[in-house]
Chains A and B, each alone.
Chain A
Amino acid sequence: MTPPPRRERVTVVANEQIGPYTLLRTTRGEVDPGVPGQFFMLEAPGRILPRPMSLCLVPTGELAFLIDPIGPGTQAICALQPGESLQVLGPLGNGFRLDVEQPLLVGGGIGIAPLPFTSQALARRNGGTPPPAVLGFRSAHHAEAAALVPNAEVCIEPTYVTALIPAGLDVLACGPEPMLEAVRAQCPGSQLAWEAPMACGYGACYGCAVEIDGELKRLCIEGPVLAA
């Protein structure tokens, strides 16, 4: 069902600033974009290990990643300029189930990264109408990225996104761990995209272990999207 991951050297097409984030657009080559919520391992130039990134958008013939430059790896990736190239491996892991009745996208901060692609995929299943979304950000500057997600209601701290979630919808969420914990408590049955440090992304290193059903399991294999 999901296409096999593929490793390929792709070329940067554009490097756009969106608030504090970078939208990095690359050629797609033979790489399959996969399902929204799946991820790719991106080479971080000059670093030992690649970095996991959600696919944000799938412009024709391109892949686009929304990246928060928080440390050496993400900063090295965000510094890539058009014409420069990097290795990508993917798609990896399990994405969102899209066969839901009444989807609501919930995102916090850089966690909105997979939601533009998710919104498009859900719209395609629903005669072109994108699902509603609620997005939370730390500042108005960060909230500039909300423009990537159609049909979105936006809040800025100290208002939290959980205050905007109506009852009874099928939540697909990605964001920082405290947000996901709050969504899990509030919305049983939601689909949550988690994060963990990852060295390989394909089950080789056991570095990404998180507690799932009381056991330590590899998030890159069991997730990153897990049922609440």
Chain B
Amino acid sequence: MILNASGCLDALTAPNVAAALDCFVTKTVTPLPRGGNPPTRIAETPVGMLNSIGLANPGIDEFLRVNLPELAALGLRLWVSVGGFSAEEYAASCALLDAWPEVEALELNLSCPNVEEAAESAAAIVAACRAATTKPLWAKLSPANWDIAGSARAVEAAGADGLSLINTIRGLAIDARTNRPVLSLATGGLSGPALKPIALAAVFQCRRVSQLPIVGMGGVRTGRDAFELLAAGATHVAVGTTLFADPGAPGRIRAELQVELERNGFTTSAEASGIAHAPARA
């Protein structure tokens, strides 16, 4: 299926774009409201964009009271992205969301480069959330972790049901006029085309050590990009930065992916998942 990358679409301001996806993923929700980082929060580079939004969100209580009912009314398949600063915080939000049948799954954002790293390990957070909810848990991992396959194995052992690969990687842009960082917090998360080879490597390495389903994301602009993530081992694909330039991307990429699958002798995404791991044909 095709999803949006968390933080790259608001179904409430763009319901038609969300409706073209198979499933909508919310922006990461944290226990307390966050205004986010001061502007300037975005910068463009020739190979991608940088963001330091800083997890702007209304906080879990307001989200449950106002946003979630509005999202539920749209009738979409819905995943909620959960963030926090300790395993207890993640688990508390998961417990609250557990009561909502409209929420199909929870994505644990274990990897936002714009906030302080969660003190606890990814596996400890997943374990705490596992105890707090029966909903499927997708662990979203950071490509900054050199041993991402090790993390994948650890979160699987802790009870994750799937992997979301990958979040952004830290970057910096310098303003041509002022010679100072463009972003107010100096560094931000790099997304877009530059991320694609990094995402392919992460998916490939995690697929080698884990059979969990994988949402692949990072720089997907075309059906071919989506196909390559499937080939590396993803079972689903998410689009992020591409949505900013092309709100029609979900439908376009779906159609292009279908053509690419057929061109390669497949009828479904599932058949193409992981084919890059097969030995090269002679």
Contact = CB atoms under 8 A, between A and B. Distances in A.
Given A205-B51, A206-B27, A209-B36, A47 B44 contact: yes
Nearest to B13: A203
Contacts of B176: 71
The bracket for how many chain B residues form the interface is 35 or more
Contact of B49 (A48, A72, A215, A221): A48
For chain A, what secondary structure do more than half of its interface residues adopt (helix, strand, loop), or is it mixed?
loop
Nearest to A89: B247
B245 A204 contact: no
A197 B50 CA distance: 12
A202 interface: yes
Interface stretch (B4-12, B75-83, B132-140, B259-267): B4-12
Contacts of B17: 202, 204
A196 interface: yes
Contacts of A207: 41-42, 51, 53
Interface string A32-66: 00000000010100011110000000000000000
Contacts of A198: 42
A72 B44 CA distance: 10
Interface string A192-228: 0000111110111111111000011000010000000
Interface in B148-202: 176, 192-193
B211 interface: no
Among B9, B27, B38, B41, max chain A CB count under 10 A is at B41
A205 B56 CA distance: 10
23 contacts: A7-B246, A7-B248, A48-B46, A73-B44, A87-B246, A89-B247, A197-B42, A199-B42, A199-B44, A199-B49, A200-B247, A202-B13, A202-B247, A203-B12, A204-B14, A204-B243, A204-B244, A206-B41, A208-B42, A215-B35, A216-B36, A216-B39, A221-B13
Interface of A: 7, 41, 43, 47-50, 71-73, 87, 89, 196-200, 202-210, 215-216, 221
Interface of B: 7-10, 12-14, 17, 27, 35-36, 38-49, 51, 53, 56, 176, 192-193, 241, 243-248
